Amino acid sequence: MQFGIFGVGDIAPDPVTGLPRSEAQRIQDTIRVAKAADDLGLDVFAFGEHHNPPFVASSPPAMLAYLAAETAQIVLSTSITLITTNDPVKIAEDYAFVQHLAGGRMDVMLGRGNTVPVYPWFGQDIRQGVPLALENYNLLHRLWREDVVDWEGDYRTALQGFTSTPRPLDGVAPFVWHGAIRTPEIAEQAAFYGNGYFANHILAPHFHFKPLVDFYRQRFEHYGHGRAEDAIVGLGGQAFIARRSQDAYDRFRPYFESYPMFRGSSLEQFAQNTPLSVGSPQEVIDKTLTFQEGFGDYQRQLWAMDLGSVPVDVALEQVELLATEVVPVLRKEMDARRAAGVPDAPTHASLVHAAYGDGQPRQARPRPNTGDNTSGALPYLDSDPAKPADLPRPS
C-alpha cells in the first residue's frame, strides 16, 4: 500500500489578508512540501496539470524533473497529465526523460481534465474528448513499448518508422494510472491494458465513484489480468489534521470557507458527507479505513494537503502529522485487513522483474536504416555486434 500527497498548484487569496501568493512563491512552496514528504518517508508525491489561472501547474514534467534531483526515495507522479490536449508523442518523450532522471521513481496518471476552455487553447474539440483520450493513450502505450512505430489515427498526423526518444528506462514503460470520475470508457481502457485506475473522490458524496471502481475491477478480470480484487486502484482524499479535533476544525475553517470551490458549504456537513477528513489523527485514520471497507483493498491513497490559500508552514505541519501519526497506523491496520494475494502497487523495480526476472533488461533497438533529420547519420549501438563497421558515426 502506498501513501502520499498530491497538489494541483492552485492559488487562492489568504482569508486574513485577502492577498494571494505569487506564482513564484506557490511553486517554491510546492517544492518544500514535496521534499518534506520525501524526508518523512511518504511513498508518493503527485503534481497536477492546469493551464488556466489561478493555477501554476502547467508543466508537471519540469516540476518532477526538478524534484527527481531534490528527493531520494519518493515516487513522483502526476495528478493528472492531460491525455487529451497534450500530444502523445510529447508525453512519451517527456515522461521517459523524467523516468531516467528519477532512476525509475516515477509513474504517471492520465486524465481528460475538467476545464472546458483548455481544449481549444491546444487546438482540440471538447466534443471529441473521450475518443481523443482513448486514441491518444492507445498511441502512447505503443510508443513506450515498440522501438519503431507505424501509426495512423483520427486526431493527429500519421507516424512512419517513428522512434520516441529516450526509450523507457530498462525497456520498461512508466506505470500508468487512468484518473477518471465520470467516464466508464476510461475505466474500460484502464482494465483492457491492465493499468491502474484512480478515483479522485474528494468533492463528491462518500463512495459516489464506487460503481466506476467496481466496473473497472470487473473488466480487469474480464481481460485476464487477474481477479477483480487484484485490480490496481488508487483513491484521492483531502485532510486537515490537528492533535485535537476541534482545533482542526477551527484552524481549517477560514481556508475552507474562503476557498471558491467550497464557498457557501458547511465544513461540518462537507466533512460528514464527503471523503474530506478533518480532525485528530485517529479521526483521519478512522475515515480512511472506511475507504477500504467501501471500495475494497486498494494500492494507493493520496491526500491533498495544501489546497488554495493554506500557508506553506501549515501545509508542512499537516504533512508531518500525516506521515508520523496517521500513515504508520494505516499501514498496519490496512495490511492486517488486506485479503490474501492482493498485489502491491507496481514500481519500476517490480515491473523490471516481471519483464526480465533475474535477467538483464532489454536494450532499445531502433530500426538501423533510419537516419536522423539533421545529418542523415544512422543510429548505432556500440553493444550491437551486428553493427556494420562502415556506418557513419554521429559527431
Q: What's the mean pLDDT in 365-373?
A: 57
Question: For residue 380, what pLDDT is reported?
Answer: 46
Q: What's the mean pLDDT in 120-144?
A: 94
Quote the longest CA-to-CA distance of the chain: 76
Model confidence at 377, pLDDT cuts 50, 70, 90, reads low
Q: Which of 120-124, 297-301, 308-312 has the highest mean pLDDT?
A: 297-301
- Who has greater pLDDT, 81 or 367? 81
Question: For residue 363, what pLDDT is reported?
Answer: 74
Q: What percent of the chain has pLDDT over 90?
A: 76
What one-character-per-residue DSSP string does 310-340 give?
--HHHHHHHHHHIIIIIHHHHHHHHHHHPPT
Q: What's the mean pLDDT in 113-129?
A: 86
Q: What is the pLDDT of residues 303-355, one digit of tens each?
A: 999 987 899 999 999 999 999 999 999 999 999 999 999 999 999 999 999 99
Model confidence at 359, pLDDT cuts 50, 70, 90, reads confident
332 vs 389: CA distance, rounded Å: 59
Question: For residue 222, what pLDDT is reported?
Answer: 98
Q: What's the mean pLDDT in 184-200?
A: 96
- The 3-class secondary structure across 116-167, one letter per residue, is CCHHHHCCCCHHHHHHHHHHHHHHHHHHHHCCCEEECCCCCCCEEEECCCCC
The whole-chain average pLDDT of the chain stands at: 91
- Who has greater pLDDT, 325 or 121? 325
Q: What percent of the chain has pLDDT over 70?
A: 92
The x, y and z cell numbers of residue 83, run together, are: 491525455
Q: Mind listing the domains of the chain with CATH numbers?
A: 2-356 (3.20.20.30), 368-395 (no CATH)
Question: For residue 260, what pLDDT is reported?
Answer: 82
**Whether 220 contacts 195, CB under 8 Å:** no
Model confidence at 375, pLDDT cuts 50, 70, 90, reads low
Question: For residue 387, what pLDDT is reported?
Answer: 39
Question: For residue 368, what pLDDT is reported?
Answer: 54
The x, y and z cell numbers of residue 352, run together, are: 523490471
Q: What's the mean pLDDT in 41-53?
A: 94
**Which residues, listed in sequence order, are joined to residue 5 by a DSSP beta bridge?**
45, 303
Q: What is the pLDDT of residues 207-266, one digit of tens each?
A: 999 999 999 999 999 999 999 999 999 999 999 999 999 999 999 999 999 888 888 889
Question: For residue 385, what pLDDT is reported?
Answer: 40
Number of H helices, E strands in the chain: 13, 13
* Whether the predicted pLDDT of 379 surpasses 60: no
* Whether the predicted pLDDT of 389 surpasses 50: no
48 vs 179: CA distance, rounded Å: 11
Q: What's the mean pLDDT in 192-206?
A: 91
**Whether 180 contacts 236, CB under 8 Å:** no
* Whether the predicted pLDDT of 381 surpasses 80: no
